[in-house]
A and B are shown apart, each in its own frame.
Chain A
Amino acid sequence: MVDDRVGGGPLSTSKLGTSKSGTAKAPPKPPAAPGQGPGRADPLLVELLTQHLDPGYRAAADRRGAEQGNPARIRPPAALVRRHRLVTAVVLLLTGILLSIAYQQTRARAPQAARTHAELVSAVRQRTADVDALTSREQDLAKAVEWRRAEVLADSAQGAATTAKLGRLRDAAAQSAVDGQGMVVMAGDAAESDAVGGGPRNGTHADSEVNRVLDRDLQQMVNALWAGGAQAISVGGQRLGPTSTIREAGSAVLVDFRPLSSPYRIVAIGDPDKMEPAFAESEIAQSFTTYPQLYGMTFSTRRESRLQVPAVGSHTVSFAHPLPSATPAPAGTSPAGGSSQRTGSGAPRSSPTAEPKGPPHR
């Protein structure tokens, strides 16, 4: 076989026949030297790296040249050309179809990951919206219930006392919105790894474990504020009640199982004259004042005169028992009996509402 590479190459040595492509050659001769001496390159590899053209072409050309008695003339006879040309065209047509099929298949498969991601994101958003809608409906219903209860209890002294006690319990359980003066603490992560994907966290950067505000930090800040005399605290818009939690899952901070993103805004309602110095002296505040310089995190506190914190977002009924009442009531429409337990706290209440006068009728 004739080597038909032109010019230099990794394996072309002076021993190989340097036939310039296009010119006719004498009948094919075996390649010289490589592989035939000790220490020479393996003929398989030599062939792989130099013989790229199908040797059939050269052989056919030489055969045609020899047949026609003129080695220089290497074009095929015109008679056969047309038929073969047609088949060649068909073959190329098929190749084109094959290429486009492969392209379409690849294009259909490639964004699968991106599509799954987008679907998950939209599903999460949808569910979050559903939850929000249900929560607001629940809050509306709760208000309606309270109104009815107040209505029912208003017409007796015992009822009024019950209402007052209920109000105190609800305030203690953080189930009423509070406003007043207080202070705001803002703490944020170092702004270096939020580039990819956006959103609160996507957990792809393992090295974003450092220079982040942890759940411990928020817990300590909140405790310092409580110790300083705060009466109502919310973190990231989530009110902290007696059973609220500040936790971490993966790389996201969750308050009452709702994820929050940096920077975290802690609103504490209370007397700022007491809270500010007490907070500033706390360990966590003193550590955090050094963090902006050391780690690039953010931390600031300020007092405000008009702050508002919402009620606790979710309160579940843990205990309920029917009223000891003689008058029959339609099942399920006893808002006074049911709501007497809705203090959100896990501790059992021994029927604080001594409401013996019977449930209201609609």
Chain B
Amino acid sequence: MIAAAALVIGVVLGLLFEPTVPQLLQPYLPIAIVAALDAVLGGVRARLDRVFDDKVFIVSFISNVFIAALIVFIGDKLGVGSQLSTAVVVVLGIRIFGNVAAIRRHVFRA
């Protein structure tokens, strides 16, 4: 529950203070969001599967976000930025869907 509270508090803080992302990181914000969502939902599913481990969650979160941004960054430099970005979003989206389906199965037993 602390985790959920922390998430909600984070959203509220962001809405209150309206921090601005530095210009350099702006293009990577959407991909970072998707990677973060994937990591968070993976954590929720692990929690429901009762295999949750904080360390794994933290590492997976950071590595997800960092690697996704890195892939997009390298893609930008190589001229395939949008394609790689699409690929990253597709893969993360598939994982998100799979995790959400598992969560749904846990919650609704359906």
Contacts and interface: CB of A to CB of B under 8 A. Distances in A.
A99 B94 contact: no
A96 B54 contact: no
B33 A99 contact: yes
Contacts of A74: 50-51
A96 B11 contact: yes
Interface string A37-72: 000000000001110111011101100100000000
B56 A98 contact: no
Given A52-B95, A101-B29, A95 B50 contact: no
B94 A96 contact: no
Contacts, number: 151
Interface string A127-140: 00000000000000
A102 interface: yes
B102 interface: yes
Interface stretch (A84-92, A152-160, A271-279): A84-92
B76 interface: no
B3 A88 contact: yes
Contacts of B97: 52
Contacts of B49: 4, 21-22, 53, 57
Given A57-B46, A85-B2, A93 B54 contact: no
B67 interface: no
Contact of B102 (A6, A60, A81): A6
Nearest to B56: A56
A97 interface: yes
A60 B98 contact: no
A64 B50 CA distance: 13
Contacts of B10: 92-100
B66 interface: no
Nearest to B45: A53
A56 B58 contact: no
Interface residues of B, number: 52
Nearest to A62: B51
B15 A88 contact: no
A5 interface: yes
A81 B105 contact: no
A96 B7 contact: yes
Contact of B51 (A61, A90, A101): A61
Given A91-B58, A91-B61, A93-B6, A100 B46 contact: no
A52 B94 contact: yes
A53 B105 CA distance: 14
A104 interface: yes
Contacts of A4: 49, 102
Given A54-B46, A61-B51, A87-B54, A92 B14 contact: no
B6 A90 contact: yes
A287 interface: no
A84 B58 contact: yes
A105 interface: yes
B54 A102 contact: no
B53 A61 contact: yes
A209 B1 CA distance: 62
Given A48-B91, A81-B54, A104-B15, A95 B102 contact: no
Contacts of B62: 91
Contacts of A61: 50-51, 53
Given A54-B60, A98-B33, A93 B7 contact: yes
B74 interface: no
A49 B102 CA distance: 13
Contact of A60 (B11, B14, B40, B55): B55
Interface in A1-49: 4-7, 21-22, 48-49
A76 interface: yes
Q: Which 3 A-B residue pairings sit nearest by Cβ, starting from the closest? A: A96-B10, A100-B14, A52-B98
12 contacts: A6-B102, A49-B94, A49-B98, A52-B45, A53-B49, A57-B46, A58-B51, A60-B53, A75-B50, A84-B53, A97-B10, A100-B15
Interface of B: 2-15, 18-21, 29-30, 32-33, 36, 39-40, 42-43, 45-46, 49-62, 91, 94-95, 97-99, 102, 105-106
